[in-house]
């Protein structure tokens, strides 16, 4: 077992700032079944002042929950050590182990902000603010927003306090507005050597991200639903006029037509084989 360290609250008669413990012995059977810990007392300058042996047995051993993480095991042991040694955890103002994160969210979708704080005592008062205005009736470390719209854009702040102090963390929410598809780069007429590779492509935009459907001579091509249309072994039958439609919940736009011409290789031309998978 690794070294377990627990910060403790110094008092007037016990200037113990920390204990560190390691397993010294393990007993599998008998009335003293359990583990024995060797515990060192440290002062605020990290100087060892004293040491003690502490047994975790009896009901403490029998009631040890199964399936804990290593951190949870350490916390379980640490709490028992503090109780048996007559010590308490150090009092601490809240501190974040995870701050609220800024985010950009598509209009109409749901999102949430959250933060995770530690401290002692772990009796926290949570308050959420938007642009420094208190959000009423939100009392936990999570703030949920349904159907985000432009009015939700702003700075969200989580304030966490206990008897020892207060901390706050802020994050920004930006609403990405919905927009119909637009085409930034149109497909262009292309010549492809017979038996070789070629492609058409379009560059589009829109929120949510548009879907694609390529057509030849106005007839949709089954399975061709990407931004690029590939010809891996171009044949005369591939010649024709192609276009692509971009669609999302906000609308539909069709590209201009691009003509594929199939040409014969120049006399004496030598082509390298295409890479595998192209």
Among 85, 110, 126, give the residue marking a domain's end. Answer: 85
Query: Is the pTM of the predicted complex or chain greater than 0.75?
Result: no
Q: In the numeric block, which tokens belong to residue 217?
A: 């001579």
Q: In the numeric block, which tokens belong to residue 208?
A: 């949510």
**CATH code assigned at 152:** 2.60.40.10
Tell me the residue range of the domain where 115 lies: 94-176
In a domain, 54, yes or no: yes
pLDDT at 272 over 70: no
Among 154, 176, 198, give the residue marking a domain's end. Answer: 176
One domain for residues 123 and 79: no
One domain for residues 8 and 80: yes
In a domain, 10, yes or no: yes
One domain for residues 25 and 13: yes
One domain for residues 130 and 143: yes
One domain for residues 172 and 186: no
The proportion of the chain whose per-residue pLDDT surpasses 70, expressed as a percent, equals 95
Among 176, 208, 242, give the residue marking a domain's end. Answer: 176
Q: In the numeric block, which tokens belong to residue 198?
A: 């070629």
Count of the separate structural domains present in the chain: 3
What is the 3 state secondary structure string of 4-67?
Answer: EEEEECCCCCCCCCEEEEEEEEEECCCCCCEEEEEEEEECCCCCEEEEEEEEEEHHHHHCCCCC
In a domain, 270, yes or no: no
Task: Please report the pLDDT score of residue 192 as a whole number.
Answer: 96
In tens, the pLDDT along 258-268 reads 999 999 877 65
């Amino acid at each position: 077992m690794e070294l377990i360290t627990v910060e403790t609250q110094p008092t007037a008669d016990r200037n113990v700032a920390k204990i560190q413990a390691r397993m010294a012995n393990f007993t599998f059977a008998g009335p003293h079944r359990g583990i024995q810990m060797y515990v060192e007392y440290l002062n605020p300058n990290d100087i060892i002042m004293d040491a003690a042996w502490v047994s975790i047995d009896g009901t403490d051993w029998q009631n040890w929950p199964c399936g804990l993480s290593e951190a949870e095991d350490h916390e379980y042991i640490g709490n028992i050590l503090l109780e048996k040694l007559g010590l308490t955890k150090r009092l601490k103002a809240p501190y974040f182990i995870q701050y609220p994160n800024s985010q950009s969210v598509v209009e109409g979708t749901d999102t949430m902000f959250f933060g995770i704080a530690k401290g002692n005592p772990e009796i926290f008062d949570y308050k959420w603010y938007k642009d420094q205005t208190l959000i009423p009736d939100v009392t936990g470390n999570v703030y949920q927003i349904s159907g985000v719209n432009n009015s939700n854009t702003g700075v969200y702040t989580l304030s966490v306090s206990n008897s020892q102090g207060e901390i706050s963390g802020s994050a920004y929410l930006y609403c990405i507005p919905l927009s119909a598809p637009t085409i930034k780069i149109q497909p262009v007429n292309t010549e492809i050597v017979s038996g070789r590779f070629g492609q058409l492509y379009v560059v589009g935009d829109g929120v949510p991200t548009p879907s694609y459907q390529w057509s030849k001579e106005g007839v949709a091509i089954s399975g061709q639903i990407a931004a690029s249309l590939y010809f891996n072994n171009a044949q005369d039958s591939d010649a024709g006029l192609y276009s692509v439609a971009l669609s999302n919940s906000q609308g539909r736009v069709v590209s201009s037509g691009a003509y594929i011409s199939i040409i014969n290789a120049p006399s004496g031309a030598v082509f390298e084989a295409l890479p595998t998978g192209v």
